[in-house]
């Protein structure tokens, strides 16, 4: 059975998207990505360090764009204008690559999305031909507006970026999935494998994480755990869980043929 994640017309077999930040070095980055089975990796766009050796190893050598689908992000942008400029630079940097992750932040303490600036940036980027995967709040009305603008994936937070607090409002994620037909991918807040499994069991199309893997004691092992959790959650969703029976137990073994009591 093929069960692909389809984003902007392209199919991916992995539903786990992984960030490339916060690892010890590029060797660990690559080992974690390989263990996760991910096909889509987020990258940041930053100024070159003037005065540093321009020949030092680069992310593009360790994580070749020929092997992974790059998803350049706008992390650190607090206005629509800066986010749009950053992604125009990313498109030039990556030879016309148009699949991008838009995030416009509201404040540096919470890193909560500024949805007003996000919507403004999304409109500009879609008009310029970008395929926009958008980080947003778990507000179902905003999510639907972002889809209507033309975003190719809606990526609500499960909890704050880098917090590892897990899925705090599954009801809102469900409300978003009820309204939106493009893939809904949980982005931010996953802390451990069960969080990824829960997101997938809810019916999310995928999970995007960085700190949950890079911040683990053993990032490569956690990457492997996340791969399994994402797959397990997806299979459980597709299998359709049994109904919950709140006040009645139901034995798993036959009720007939039990040996007689020896005491009577």
Instruction: Compare residues 88 and 144 and give the one whose CB is closer to other proteins.
Output: 88
CB 150 within 8 A of CB 186: no
Displacement of CA 238 from its chain's centroid (Å): 19
Smallest separation, CB 225 to other proteins (Å): 18
Smallest separation, CB 62 to other proteins (Å): 9
Could you say which of 10, 22, 24, 101 is catalytic? 101
- Label residue 46 exposed, middle or buried (CB < 10 Å: 0-12, 13-18, 19+): exposed
Give the span between the Cα atoms of 30 and 62, in whole angstroms.
6
Contacting residues toward other proteins, per CB under 8 A:
19-23, 26, 29, 42-48, 50, 54-55, 58-60, 70, 72-73, 75, 85, 88-90, 92-94, 161-162, 209-211, 214
144 is catalytic: no
Smallest separation, CB 135 to other proteins (Å): 10
Starting at the earlier edge strand, list the strands of the sheet with 153-156: 99-102, 131-136, 153-156
CB 100 within 8 A of CB 90: yes
CB 152 within 8 A of CB 118: no
What phi and psi values does residue 186 have, to the nearest 5 degrees?
A: -70, 125
Smallest separation, CB 236 to other proteins (Å): 26
Among 227, 195, 188, 237, CA closest to 211 = 188
Instruction: Compare residues 47 and 263 and give the one whose CB is closer to other proteins.
Output: 47
CB 204 within 8 A of CB 197: no
Which positions are catalytic?
Answer: 101
């Amino acid at each position: 059975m093929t069960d692909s994640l389809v984003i902007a017309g392209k199919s991916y077999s992995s539903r786990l998207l992984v960030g490339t930040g916060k690892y010890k070095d590029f060797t660990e980055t690559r080992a974690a990505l390989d263990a996760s089975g991910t096909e889509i990796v987020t990258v940041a766009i930053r100024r070159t360090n003037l005065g540093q050796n321009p020949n030092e190893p680069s992310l593009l050598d360790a994580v070749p764009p020929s092997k992974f689908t790059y998803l350049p992000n706008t992390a650190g942008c607090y206005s629509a204008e800066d986010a749009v400029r950053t992604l125009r630079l990313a498109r030039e940097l990556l030879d016309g690559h148009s699949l991008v992750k838009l995030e416009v932040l509201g404040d540096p303490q919470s890193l909560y999305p500024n949805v007003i600036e996000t919507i403004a940036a999304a409109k500009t980027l879609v008009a310029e031909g970008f395929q926009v995967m958008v980080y947003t709040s778990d507000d179902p009305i905003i999510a639907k507006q972002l889809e209507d603008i033309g975003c190719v994936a809606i990526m609500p937070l499960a909890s704050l970026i880098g917090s590892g607090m897990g899925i705090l409002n599954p009801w809102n994620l469900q409300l978003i999935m009820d309204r939106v037909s493009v893939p809904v991918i949980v982005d931010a807040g996953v802390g451990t494998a069960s969080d990824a499994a829960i997101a997938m069991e809810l019916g999310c199309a995928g999970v995007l994480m960085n700190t949950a893997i890079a911040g683990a004691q053993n990032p490569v092992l956690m990457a492997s755990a996340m791969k399994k959790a994402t797959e397990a959650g997806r299979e459980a969703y597709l299998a359709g869980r049994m109904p919950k029976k709140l006040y009645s137990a139901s034995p798993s073994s036959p009720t007939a043929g039990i040996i007689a009591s020896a005491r009577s």
